[in-house]
Amino acid sequence: MSFIKFHADQLFDGYRFRKQDEVLITDENGKVYGIIPLSEAGEDIKKVEGILCPGFVNAHCHLELSFLKGVIPTHTGLVGFVSQLMQHRNAATEIIEQAIVDAEAEMIANGIVAVGDICNTPHTIAQKQKGRIKYQNFIEVAGFVPGAAESRFNTIKEIANQFYNHFPNNTSIVPHAPYSVSLQLLDKIKEHSHNKIFSIHNQETAQENIFFKEKIGEFLSLYNNLGVDLSFFNNKYNSSVDYYIDRIAKEMNALFVHNTFTAKEDIDSIVKQISNPYFCLCPAANLYIENSLPDINLFRSVNSGNNIVVGTDSLASNHSLSILEELSIIQEHHPTIELAELLKWATINGARALTLDKSLGSFEINKQPGIIQIINKKYLGNNLVNSTIEVFL
Ligand SMILES: [Zn+2]
């Protein structure tokens, strides 16, 4: 077996920066053999400028929506965004499929090795079968009217079965968002969950909490405009989390995505109810749609920040699919957060959330997590803005 020896300016192992004199040893496929002192590493050492880091995990994406890049204007607010998405969802299959191929290539070039991907259709299956990126497929169902739960669930099961056929261990049925799923539909999802991974778009807009608290606002207007009779809906909740949290299986890894308008009380009830909650930050999409960001420090105080992960959301609500870009946005708004903490969210935390940490997320022996180099030629130190990525293995 031939080894590759990497000696970087900074070696980040998925958890922390290692000592300057440590060398990462892998086989020719990037399988980790160990991290050893430079003095023991012998000859033929590859010198790496900048930071050497395990491949990134994109915990939330909608690969199938890639064809909508640039279609929906920025700052519409979520309800405006959802309305536009409904109008633009259909396109020729070739256009949808080509955009999927291109978007996946973009993620690979940006050092992404695993993706938590929301699917409403089977469009991504063919590309995913090529195995270039590891996917957890979240087959998403919606339907706020209780009477529709049965038929909505049966329809989504047919799509989910196509994914189960190809990716039996990496597929689960998940709800879209609190405002778009009935409690009856949530119960069906729970019955069917078999302790697979759960995901939900959570509190992406202030309108969501207003709707559940007071039954007023933009979601009420949206449903009225769509001709949906909401007489069944009783607004007795303190927030949207209060509406759905006791309907989720407790033992699963559960991803709460966006959390832009999540309060400390919501986090407390999530943590109380769910054994393994993960809070997924998608800052670029939040700025694109609502032009606001979550209170990141609230999530850093849960389990020392070990439950924070990072996602790009889709190209319908983002200019690129780059975890580095997401991290640099967070860094711009929170310059005091240590770089190691940010990189941890995007590597080992993401791998744990998607239950892919046996092989991904860190430079631990026998893992094959992907090897990327982060270089910033403009600034010295730990500034990620204007950094670039090289993918080694
Ligand atoms: Zn999303």
Average pLDDT score over the chain: 95
Taking residues 201-207, report their average pLDDT.
97
Quick check: 329 pLDDT over 80?
yes
Cα(first)–Cα(last) distance of the chain, in Å?
16
Dist. CA 285 → ligand 1 center (Å): 9
Residue 321: the pLDDT is 98
Which is nearest to 57 in space by CA: 373, 388, 367, 347? Answer: 347
The CA 383 to ligand 1 mean position distance, Å, reads 27
For residue 198, the cross-strand partners are: 254
pLDDT in tens, 279-321: 999 999 999 999 999 999 999 999 999 999 999 999 999 999 9
| Ligand 1 centroid – CA 201 distance (Å) | 6
How many angstroms does the Cα of residue 326 sit away from the middle of ligand 1? Answer: 14
pLDDT bucket at 380, cuts 50 / 70 / 90: low
CA of 123 to the centre of ligand 1 (A): 17
Handedness of CA 7, 8, 14, 17 (dihedral sign): positive
* C-alpha 84 to ligand 1 mean position (Å): 14
Whole-number Å distance, alpha carbon 28 to ligand 1 midpoint, is 36
CA of 78 to the centre of ligand 1 (A): 11
Q: Residues of 201-220 as b/e, b for ≥16 C-beta within 10 angstroms?
A: bbbbbbbbbbbbbeeebbbb
Q: How far is CA 316 from the centre of its chain?
A: 15
Q: Take residue 323 and report the two structure tokens written for it.
A: 């975890």
pLDDT tens digits, 16-73: 999 999 999 999 999 999 999 999 999 999 999 999 999 999 999 999 999 999 999 9
Task: Quote the ligand 1 centre to 314 CA distance (angstroms).
Answer: 6
Distance 313 CA to ligand 1 centre (A): 5
Dist CA 8 CA 33 (whole Å): 16
| pLDDT at 1 exceeding the cut of 80 | no
| Ligand 1 centroid from CA 225, angstroms | 23
State in Å: Cα 117 to ligand 1 middle: 9
Asked if residue 363 has pLDDT above 90, the reply is yes
Task: Look up residue 329 and give its two tokens.
Answer: 């946005």
Residue 342: count other Cβ atoms within 10 Å of its Cβ: 23
Query: What top-level class would CATH report for the domain 56-358?
Result: alpha beta
Q: How many CB atoms lie within 10 A of CB 242?
A: 17
Between these two residues, 382 and 306, which has the higher pLDDT value? 306
Q: Does position 379 have pLDDT exceeding 90, yes or no?
A: no
Pairing of strands 253-258, 3-11: unpaired
DSSP classification of residue 16? S
pLDDT reading at 215 higher than 80? yes
Q: Which sign, positive or negative, has the C-alpha torsion 246, 251, 254, 260?
A: positive
Q: Which residues contact 225 (CB under 8 A, 6 or more apart)?
A: none
- Between the CA of 181 and the centroid of ligand 1 the distance, in Å, is 15
User: How many whole angstroms from 317 Cα to the centroid of ligand 1?
Assistant: 9
Give residue 37 CA to ligand 1 midpoint distance, Å: 43
Per-residue pLDDT of 101-149, as tens digits, reads 999 999 999 999 999 999 999 999 999 999 999 999 999 999 999 999 9
Please give the backbone phi and psi of residue 177, each rounded to the nearest 5 degrees, phi first. -160, 160
CB-count exposure of residue 236 (10 Å: 0-12, 13-18, 19+): exposed
Question: Percent of the chain at pLDDT above 90?
Answer: 92
Q: How far apart are CA 168 and CA 75, in angstroms?
A: 38
pLDDT band at 378 (very low <50, low <70, confident <90, very high): confident
Query: Average pLDDT, stretch 167-178?
Result: 96
Q: What is the mean pLDDT of residues 267-279?
A: 96
Give the pLDDT mean for 87-100: 95
